[in-house]
Amino acid sequence: MSEPRIIFIGAGNMARAIIAGLRRRGIAGGDIAVHAPHLERREALAREFGVISRAAEAVPVAADATVVYAAKPKQIGTILPSWRAALEAGPGIFLSLAAGVTSASLKRLLGPKVPVLRCMPNTPAQIGAGMTTLYADASVTAEQRAAAEAILAAVGRCLWLEDEGLMDAATALAGSGPAYVLLFLEALEDAGVFQGLPRATARILAQETVLGAARLAKEAQMAPSNLRHQVTSPAGTTAAALAVWEEGLRALAQRAVQAAVDRGRALAQMTEEHNQWISNLSVSIAQLTSLILTLLSGPLSSAPSSRGRIPIPTTPWYAYWTGSRHPSYTPFNG
Ligand SMILES: NC(=O)C1=CN([C@@H]2O[C@H](COP(=O)(O)OP(=O)(O)OC[C@H]3O[C@@H](n4cnc5c(N)ncnc54)[C@H](O)[C@@H]3O)[C@@H](O)[C@H]2O)C=CC1
Ligand SMILES: O=C(O)[C@@H]1CCC=N1
């Protein structure tokens, strides 16, 4: 069997939505692998979509593979370093779904050789109605962009952003946006129930109205305000309701999107600091290990050392345990 060409790190909501879209588009299950620590979740995907279920650990990847990061942003600093060698070995690409994690941050984790792309899908991807924004810097080729877009196009519409700085705004609008619309739907439904409509009826009225208005806005090719005027009879019911909405809706929309942007930036900053901490820790552990090995390999010598001021041992560590030297032992200092 050939190696899978699309490799997901993470088996959560977004991975599932994209996998469903890929399978609907006719990509074979054997072409997709899912790496995750939770056996139950990845096995469920394997059963439902016929994809390959694998443990979280990194493996070598096919030369033309796309590795899709679909685990949480805060885990990226601990997960990605183990994938670096596999990605560096081939011309494959790395596509990150992680909200707020910048290309610069990804390049620090994967090295400069790996083509890095970012995307921000949303949950309507589950039914093929997703809206995804993508970003890649100038070092990413047209073919590599097309490979990433082909994956996201399986679950809805794609738009490229020229400026990475706008990814936070796109995340706040479209990534988080389905939650705002769903909250609005709930509020409308409740308001209908308050007026005496049966809940099931209120739900259908709210859903179909939001869906119809969104389709009208998309298809009529007119500004929403023009379409709104068509509904609003002078001194009518709509005008009465709009006066109430206008008391706070626009200001709330501004504040809500601003809050999401601010939170995205704060999370990005925390992720960056976490990655830096992990990287410093690795360096410290490496230095400590080296120091311990040096110390364990013999008694401290005060002889000048070319390796700095760390005292260089002249007797192997096991001499302290066995009282003898190992025949094959070559001391660090010759
Ligand atoms: N939920 C949403 O609406 C959107 C989410 N995103 C992004 O998509 C990514 C995934 O989000 P969700 O699917 O909502 O999260 P989720 O919580 O549903 O899934 C996360 C997955 O990561 C896996 N995981 C944990 N540790 C791992 C490891 N060491 N190696 C491999 N996998 C590991 C878990 O098994 C879990 O399946 C995040 O980076 C998020 O920012 C982007 C756009 C929208
Ligand atoms: O709430 C979040 O952080 C993620 C990113 C966009 C949608 N969900």
pLDDT tens-place string over residues 23-57: 999 999 999 999 999 999 999 999 999 999 999 99
Whether residues 147 and 183 share a domain: the answer is no
The atom of ligand 1 lying closest to the CA of 176 is: 3
Type and span of the H or E element at 8: strand 6-9
Provide the 10 A C-beta neighbour count for residue 132: 25
* Residues near ligand 1 (Cβ within 6 A): 9-15, 35-38, 41, 56, 70-73, 75, 79, 97-99, 120-123, 175
User: 17: helix, coil or strand?
Assistant: helix
Residue 182 lies in a domain: yes
Residue 72 lies in a domain: yes
Say which DSSP state 282 is in. Answer: H
pLDDT tens-place string over residues 55-77: 999 999 988 899 999 999 989 99
Residue 250 lies in a domain: no
Give pLDDT, residue 331.
Answer: 37
Place of tokens 């552990």: 285
Q: What is the 3-state secondary structure (H, E, C) of the chain?
A: CCCCCEEEECCCHHHHHHHHHHHHCCCCHHHEEEECCCHHHHHHHHHHHCCEEECCCCCCCCCCCEEEECCCHHHHHHHHHHHHHHHHHCCCEEEECCCCCCHHHHHHHHCCCCCEEEEECCHHHHHCCEEEEEEECCCCCHHHHHHHHHHHHCCEEEEECCCHHHHHHHHHHHHCHHHHHHHHHHHHHHHHHHCCCCHHHHHHHHHHHHHHHHHHHHHCCCCHHHHHHHHCCCCCHHHHHHHHHCCCHHHHHHHHHHHHHHHHHHHHHHHHHHHHHHHHHHHHHHHHHHHHHHHHCCCEECCCCCCCCCCEECCCCCHHHHCCCCCCCCCCCC
Residue 76 lies in a domain: yes
Chunked mean pLDDT (size 10), the chain, 334 residues: 90 96 96 96 97 96 93 92 92 94 93 96 95 97 97 97 96 98 98 98 98 96 95 98 98 98 90 76 79 77 47 42 40 34
CA-wise closest residue to 120 among 82, 67, 73, 187: 73
The atom of ligand 2 lying closest to the CA of 123 is: 7
Domain end call among 207, 225, 241: 241
Provide the 10 A C-beta neighbour count for residue 175: 26
Ligand 1 centroid to 73 CA: how many Å? 8
Residue 162 lies in a domain: yes
ipTM: 0.98
Range of the domain at 313: 297-334
Question: Which domain CATH number covers 198?
Answer: 1.10.3730.10
Residue 258 lies in a domain: no
Residue 192 lies in a domain: yes
171 Cβ below 6 A of ligand 2? yes
Residue 301 lies in a domain: yes
Q: Whose CA is nearest to atom 19 of ligand 1?
A: 12
Whether residues 11 and 130 share a domain: the answer is yes
